[in-house]
Amino acid sequence: MKYLSVIFLLLLPGLLVFSQDEFRKVDNEAFQTGEKLTFRFYYDAWLTGKVTAGIGVIEVKETDRTFNDRKAYLIEADGKSKGMFNWFYKVHDRFESFVDKEFIAPHYFIRRTREGGYTKDDEYTFDQYDHTVTTRSVKMNIPPYTQDFLSAIYYARTLNGDTLQIGDIIPISFFLDDSVYVSSIVFEGRDTIEVELGTFRCLRFRPGLITGEVFSDKYPMTLWISDDKNHLPVLAKSKIIVGNLKAELMDYKGLKNELNSLIEKKE
């Protein structure tokens, strides 16, 4: 018995390094398998009014695939351009993220981008033990719990809005195009907003984005999230050089909680 104790003590550091208990456990009250959200993307300007550019669907699915024996959600997003936009800028983007059910960060991400004449296919393998990510072209170190942009949305939904104060800044690291970015999400308060689905009580945030030729402001987007346990993205508005790009929730199924932020639903 004495020898077994000595062996155990010698092995203990290694056991601790590889123990799954080292990972955070996120309290996810926001979403579940079976949730399906549909969004309308449209361009809004004084000259043209509202012009629908496309439809996007995001769905949380069950998967038998595991990563180091850890269970994951499969989050699938599919977006397509619509109507006249197909004539001059056809879009069909598809993304899949395998997100750990406990620490709500990705193990594996698949990207299939078709936007006009631009094509981009890639896979990201996240090693959350060694804090690395491997793509088709690079392998690099990343901060713990670095997200892909799809899993970042679902991690942000798990945050507790009841404890937020106006001006609070939430940093989220995410990986895109072989680079790590740190986005800051600023909480701005609570609003009541009206969309085609109805009238919602919402939390208002300003996520930081990568600036460039289209976005000149570090915080060009305003995002409204349902003020309930679901934390559904209800409306996002981004200022561009002329007008606004908007994404609006148009349908929902399989919610984990009652949507009690919906004050009045339109028929």
Domain enclosing residue 54, as ranges? 23-265
In a domain, 132, yes or no: yes
For residue 108, the domain's CATH number is 2.40.360
In a domain, 17, yes or no: no
Q: Tell me the two tokens of residue 194.
A: 């009206």
In a domain, 193, yes or no: yes
In a domain, 9, yes or no: no
Give the predicted TM-score (pTM) of the model: 0.85
Distances from the Cα of 195 to the Cα of 15, 163, 180, 230, 249, angstroms: 52, 26, 34, 17, 8
- Reading the chain (267 residues) residue by residue, the pLDDT tens digits are 333 333 333 344 433 333 445 899 999 999 999 999 999 998 776 555 578 889 999 999 999 999 999 999 999 999 998 887 788 788 899 999 999 999 999 999 999 999 888 999 999 999 999 999 999 999 999 999 999 989 999 999 999 888 889 999 888 888 988 888 888 888 999 999 999 999 999 999 988 754 433 334 454 689 999 999 999 999 998 876 556 788 999 999 999 999 999 999 887
In a domain, 4, yes or no: no
> What torsion, rounded to 10 degrees, do the Cα atoms 145, 231, 34, 122 define?
-40
In a domain, 220, yes or no: yes
Q: What is the pLDDT of residue 14?
A: 38
In a domain, 148, yes or no: yes
Domain count, the chain: 1
Whether 56 and 79 have beta carbons less than 8 Å apart is answered as yes
| First-to-final CA distance of the chain | 73
In a domain, 11, yes or no: no
